[in-house]
Structures are given as structure tokens and as C-alpha cells.
């Protein structure tokens, strides 16, 4: 990689570099290529993933975990994945270990129970993150630390936490029951304050907003820019990844995609257009492995002399179907939960909206909702249809409702001092985790009387939500006994008649591998996925454009893997000439016409 082709965000780089954006835009590829470049210029670099569904190890072909791991092929480069489960276990042991031999076994059991929830998992992961920001432990000695973050909504939550916990510790000392002994937080007070200072110092921290030339992705980073600027991260750059170069031929799909992307670039929101911006061209290969990553910052390669004439649905393996086939099966019942899951950026929101519109137009009573803080269902629908209700599980609204409910019930019988203590405890950032779980549980139960289509947050965070669901289930079993008469949200998720889980992915190696791992995690929890949807498949189009055909040629093996994992129930949606926004465009996805796009 010559210096002449380097993107501007690498100029005068401070020690900490954060890459964030909507899921699926290529944050990990850009982060890995950045880390490789810095290491090859003689700097010592630590690449850190804060995404619970990290695929940094897959990109490098290494097993990377919760400890700093050298990348042998790149001297000077090490990597670390903040594993939520491992971090939580280490956090619990730091709290319980010193008193294990001192306190009676029943008291130890109570402390361990207090430290068993999803809230503790979040705090433990967060502690790992703040330690890196303040140069403690594993971060010591590195010239640069590159953070490959979780998709936008959860990154904002992560970066808000230093201030949230600092405020909580400064303003009061509620019993913090969901965290166990408050000393576990008190010891981190100065670390949190140092983390806030590091995030707000442009000489130490730079934020790179990674996007694709897609309207929804650009609008999301525009919102992110404002929210993170309020948190003090004002040293910001934009990277537009995987932009299709101007086609030299007359291929209709390539021409339409190029025009669409150029229009997005031309009409960037004013808040973004004033930021330093780099545009990276679409590559013909997947960005997996050192050889591919080394080309990410290079200009687009010239097309072959002669374009390919191959293309069309004949490239699809036997056994794949269309989204409408899944609608036909789902429409046979007037209630139930349809839950869309998968990696960020694979199109879960679009597929969820398309299914909801199709089912509502079949005359069913449908509620379309989302657990993703960064999802924008209203923008995807851009309209309404009879029989369809749309909502989102908003963390702030859910938390406000939960606090009011607790104060009305639990606080009604308390005196002034007791009520003040309760209000203080409810200001804990952990309250949000409990509130979101309760809202999620209500949506799961609502599916007993109507169809609920749920668009979920990206994989790792959805699994954490399911962990909370499992913890609640185990608590109920302990209290009421295995033979008790009850039905928990987890039991409804495990009931194939009540819940249909659909895994959404892209026809690329890394998304398919992550989807396979998601299926394994779900099956371990007793949840059997019902179907798979492969989105944006070039092999389902009639394109003859050389670059797009090169990418289409890589899809066949991935589709075969999906068919094997899905047990035959697999729908494919082709890459579309226009973004599927609006009820009319969403309707096309489930009517079968999309299979012959352009």
C-alpha cells in the first residue's frame, strides 16, 4: 500500500481510533486494513473488537479471544476480542474471590446471584474497554489502539457508559443490587473519569464513521455524529466503503447501482459533508485474509477487456426459493412470533418489514416491532398499510415506564427516605437492561393473540438479551419447581408453534459463518431456527458487469452452506436496482418479481 493511496483519516493519527457505523458497512475490514498498515509502518498496534459478535479472528484466520494475541503474519500487530462471557466471569471472580473463604456459603450464593444478570455482563465488558482507554494492563506499550466497535446504537450506549457510571457514583450510592457490592464500581471511579477525558481529547481519540453509499446507512452516521459529538468525540472523519466505480458497459443493474450511490454521495447531509471524507472502491473479492485486506486502500482495478455474459437465476443452487414462499407458510396462522435475527447490516429490518406488509395484506392482524436501538422501521416502510401496527422497543421509553411502575408499586408503601433510596437505585444504568427485557417479554407474549414480527438488534446483543431471558426462566424454575404451572418467555421462544426464528444473512463467507454460529448458539438455548433468508444475492440477478460477476461467482458455495444449515427452507432476495423503501417496494420482495430484477 503506497502512501499516495492512503485515506486521509490515517493522517496524523492519534493513539485511539474508533470505527463505528451501521452493521454490515465494512467496519471490521477497514479496522483490520488500518491496523495492518500501521503495523507495517513500524508502529506497535492493538486491534480491539468491542462487538459481541466479533469476526476479527475470522478475517485473520486466527483464534482470538479475551487476551492480547499476536498476529504472526504482521509483526507489531496484536488483536483482542472483548468476550462478554469471559469478561463477566473474571469480573464476578474479582468481586467474590476475596470473600469466598470468609463469608458463609448462603451469602456467597446471594452475591453470585446478584452478579448473574445481563447487566453485570455489560459492566464487565465496559470495564475491559475503559481499561484500554486509560492505558492500563494489556493496552500498555502500544503506539495505537484501533477499536472495531459494535453497530451504531450499541456503540453509543458503550461510549455513554463512562459518564453514566461516573454520574451514578457521584450522585448517590443506591444498593446497586443488580451489580453486587458497590465496591466493584467504586474501585473504577477514577478509571471512568480518565476514560471520559480520553474520549473527549482530539489529540488522543479520533472517530471514523464508516458507511456505505446507501441512504439509511448515511442517515444513521449523521445521527451518530451528533450524538457522539455531544459526548465529546468531535474529531470525526467519514469513510464511504465499497462504492461501485462507474461502469464501462451498459449493464442495467451496475448502472442503476452506480447512479443510486452517486446520488447518495452528492446529497450527503450538511453535518457530514463538512467532515473529511474518504471513498473506498468496491472490490471483486471478499475482504478476508491479509492478501485481500492489503488491497482495501488501493484504487479500483481496471475491468477485464471482455465482460462476462454469464448471469441470472441459473446461478442459484437447486432448493432455494423466494420470500413469498415463506409468507405462504406463515400466513396459515393468525398469531405467533416471527423473529428476524442475524449480523448487523444483512437487511433484517427490510426483510421484517416485507414480511409484515405481506402478512397484513393477507388480512392478518400484525404488529411489527424492533429491539434494535439503531433500527428505523418507519423510514423503511415510508407509509402504512391496513392491519399493520408499527412500534419499537425504545430503551429510554421502556426505562421511564419501568421506573414509574416500580415507584407506583414497590415505592407506594415506603417512607420518604425509603422512596428516595429506591429512586436513587433506579437511576442506575442497569435499570435500562431490566426495562428492555420486560418490554421484549411483553412482545413475546403478545404473539399469543396476533402476529408479531420482531426485527432484532445485531447478533451479539440479541444473544445477550436471550441470556437475560434464560436467567429469568431459571429463576422461575427455582422458585416454582420444575413441575410448576407457568410459561416463561424463554419457553415461548423454544416453542416452534409459537415462535418462528428466521436467520438473515448475506451470500458471503463471513456473514454465513457468523449465521452458522448464531444457529449453534440458538440450538444450545433450545431454540430451533425455522428458516434462512439470503439477502442481496448477485447470483439471483441478470447482471453481466465484470466486477459484479466476480462477486457473484463467490456466492455459490455460501448458498450451498446455507441450504445445508437451513434444512432446505431458504429464500433468496437478489440485489435490487433501487433500495427497497416504501410499502410498494417491500411488497415486490414477497411477490416473486424480485427474482428477475434488472
24 has catalytic annotation: yes
For every residue of 542-559, DSSP letters joined together read: ----HHHHHHHHTHHHHH
Beta-strand ranges (E) seen in 203-235 are 205-212
Grade residue 175 by pLDDT with cuts at 50, 70 and 90: very low
pLDDT of 303: 54
343 has catalytic annotation: no
pLDDT of 570: 94
Higher pLDDT, 408 or 177: 408
Per mean pLDDT, which range of 2-16, 113-127, 341-355 is the poorest?
Answer: 113-127
Q: Which of 22, 27, 343, 500 is catalytic?
A: 27
200 has catalytic annotation: no
At residue 439, the 3 state secondary structure works out as helix
Over residues 239-246, mean pLDDT: 94
Per mean pLDDT, which range of 48-52, 171-175, 477-481, 534-538 is the poorest?
Answer: 171-175
27 has catalytic annotation: yes
26 has catalytic annotation: yes
Cell of 150: 459494535
Which domains, and CATH codes, for the chain? 13-84+128-281 (3.40.50.300), 313-596 (3.40.50.300)
Q: Which of 23, 24, 76, 344 is catalytic?
A: 24
Q: Report the interhelical angle of 323-330 vs 348-361 (nearest 10°).
A: 50
Would you tell me how many other CB atoms lie within 10 Å of the CB of residue 11?
10
Q: Which of 20, 50, 51, 345 is catalytic?
A: 51
What are φ and ψ of residue 412, in 5° steps? -60, -35
Q: Which of 20, 29, 462, 499 is catalytic?
A: 29
- DSSP class of residue 540 equals G
With contact defined as beta carbons under 8 Å apart, do 237 and 187 qualify? no
Residue with cell 459481541: 52
* pLDDT tens-digit series, residues 185-237: 555 666 667 777 787 888 998 989 999 998 888 988 898 888 888 877 788 99
Q: Which of 26, 76, 153, 311 is catalytic?
A: 26
Q: Which of 459, 469, 510, 594 is catalytic?
A: 510
With contact defined as beta carbons under 8 Å apart, do 351 and 535 qualify? yes
Q: Which of 21, 22, 28, 49 is catalytic?
A: 28
| The three-state (H, E, C) secondary structure of 501-523, written as one string | EEEEECCCHHHHHHHHHHHHHHH
428 has catalytic annotation: no
* pLDDT tens-digit series, residues 388-413: 999 888 878 888 888 888 888 888 88
For every residue of 258-321, DSSP letters joined together read: HHHHHHHHHT--HHHHTS-EEEEE--SS-S-SHHHHTTTTSPPPPPPSS-----SGGGSPTT-B
pTM of the model: 0.73
Cell of 420: 428516595
Looking at every residue in the chain, the average pLDDT score rounds to 80
28 has catalytic annotation: yes
Amino acid at each position: 500500500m503506497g502512501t499516495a493511496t492512503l485515506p486521509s483519516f490515517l493522517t496524523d493519527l492519534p493513539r485511539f481510533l474508533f470505527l463505528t457505523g451501521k452493521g454490515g458497512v465494512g467496519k471490521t475490514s477497514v479496522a483490520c486494513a488500518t491496523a495492518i498498515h500501521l503495523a507495517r509502518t513500524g508502529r506497535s498496534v492493538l486491534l480491539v473488537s468491542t462487538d459481541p459478535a466479533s469476526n476479527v479472528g475470522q478475517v485473520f484466520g486466527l483464534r482470538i479471544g479475551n487476551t492480547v494475541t499476536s498476529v504472526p503474519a504482521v509483526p507489531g500487530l496484536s488483536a483482542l476480542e472483548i468476550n462478554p462471557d469471559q469478561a463477566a466471569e473474571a469480573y464476578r471472580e474479582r468481586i467474590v474471590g476475596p470473600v469466598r473463604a470468609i463469608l458463609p456459603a448462603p451469602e456467597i450464593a446471594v452475591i453470585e446471584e446478584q452478579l448473574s444478570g445481563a447487566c453485570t455482563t455489560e459492566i464487565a465488558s465496559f470495564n475491559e474497554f475503559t481499561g484500554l482507554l486509560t492505558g492500563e494492563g494489556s493496552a500498555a506499550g502500544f503506539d495505537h489502539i484501533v477499536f472495531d466497535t459494535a453497530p451504531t446504537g450499541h456503540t453509543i450506549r458503550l461510549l455513554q457508559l463512562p459518564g453514566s457510571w461516573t454520574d451514578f457514583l457521584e450522585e448517590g450510592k443506591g444498593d446497586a443490587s443488580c451489580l453486587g457490592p458497590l465496591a466493584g464500581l467504586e474501585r473504577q471511579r477514577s478509571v471512568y473519569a480518565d476514560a471520559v477525558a480520553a474520549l473527549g481529547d482530539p489529540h488522543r481519540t479520533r472517530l471514523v464513521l464508516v458507511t456505505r453509499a446507501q441512504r439509511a446507512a448515511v442517515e444513521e452516521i449523521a445521527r451518530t455524529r451528533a450524538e457522539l459529538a455531544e459526548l465529546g468525540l468531535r474529531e470525526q472523519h467519514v469513510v464511504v466503503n465499497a462504492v461501485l466505480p462507474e461502469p464501462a458497459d451498459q449493464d442495467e443493474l451496475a448502472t442503476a447501482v452506480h447512479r443510486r450511490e452517486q446520488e447518495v454521495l452528492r446529497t450527503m447531509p450538511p453535518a457530514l459533508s463538512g467532515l473529511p471524507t474518504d471513498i473506498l472502491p468496491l472490490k471483486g473479492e471478499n475482504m478476508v485474509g491479509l492478501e485481500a485486506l492489503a488491497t482495501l486502500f488501493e484504487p479500483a482495478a481496471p475491468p477485464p477487456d471482455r465482460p462476462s455474459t454469464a448471469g441470472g437465476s441459473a446461478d442459484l443452487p437447486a432448493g432455494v426459493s423466494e420470500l413469498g414462499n415463506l409468507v405462504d407458510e406463515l400466513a396459515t396462522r393468525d398469531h405467533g412470533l416471527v423473529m428476524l435475527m442475524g449480523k448487523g447490516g444483512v437487511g433484517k429490518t427490510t426483510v421484517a418489514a416485507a414480511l409484515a406488509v405481506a402478512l397484513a395484506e393477507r388480512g392478518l392482524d400484525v404488529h411489527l416491532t424492533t429491539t434494535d436501538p439503531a433500527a428505523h422501521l418507519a423510514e423503511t416502510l415510508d407509509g402504512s398499510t391496513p392491519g399493520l401496527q408499527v412500534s419499537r422497543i425504545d430503551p429510554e421509553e421502556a426505562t421511564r415506564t419501568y421506573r414509574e411502575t416500580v415507584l407506583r408499586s414497590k415505592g407506594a408503601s415506603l417512607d420518604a427516605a425509603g422512596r428516595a433510596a429506591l429512586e436513587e437505585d433506579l437511576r442506575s444504568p442497569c435499570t435500562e437492561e431490566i426495562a428492555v427485557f420486560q418490554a421484549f417479554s411483553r412482545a413475546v407474549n403478545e404473539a399469543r393473540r396476533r402476529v408479531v414480527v420482531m426485527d432484532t438488534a445485531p447478533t451479539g446483543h440479541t444473544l445477550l438479551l436471550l441470556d437475560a431471558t434464560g436467567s429469568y426462566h431459571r429463576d422461575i424454575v427455582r422458585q416454582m419447581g420444575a413441575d410448576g404451572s407457568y410459561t416463561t418467555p424463554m419457553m415461548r421462544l423454544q416453542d416452534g408453534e409459537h415462535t418462528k426464528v428466521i436467520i438473515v444473512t448475506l451470500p458471503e463467507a463471513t456473514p454465513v459463518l457468523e449465521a452458522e454460529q448464531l444457529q449453534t448458539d440458538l440450538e444450545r438455548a433450545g431454540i430451533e431456527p425455522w428458516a434462512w433468508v439470503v439477502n442481496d444475492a448477485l447470483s439471483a440477478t441478470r447482471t453481466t458487469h465484470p466486477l459484479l460477476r466476480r462477486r457473484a461467482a463467490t456466492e455459490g458455495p455460501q448458498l450451498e452452506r446455507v441450504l445445508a444449515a437451513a434444512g432446505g427452507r431458504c429464500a433468496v432476495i437478489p440485489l435490487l436496482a433501487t433500495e427497497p423503501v416504501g410499502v410498494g417496494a417491500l411488497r415486490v420482495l414477497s411477490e416473486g418479481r424480485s427474482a428477475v430484477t434488472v
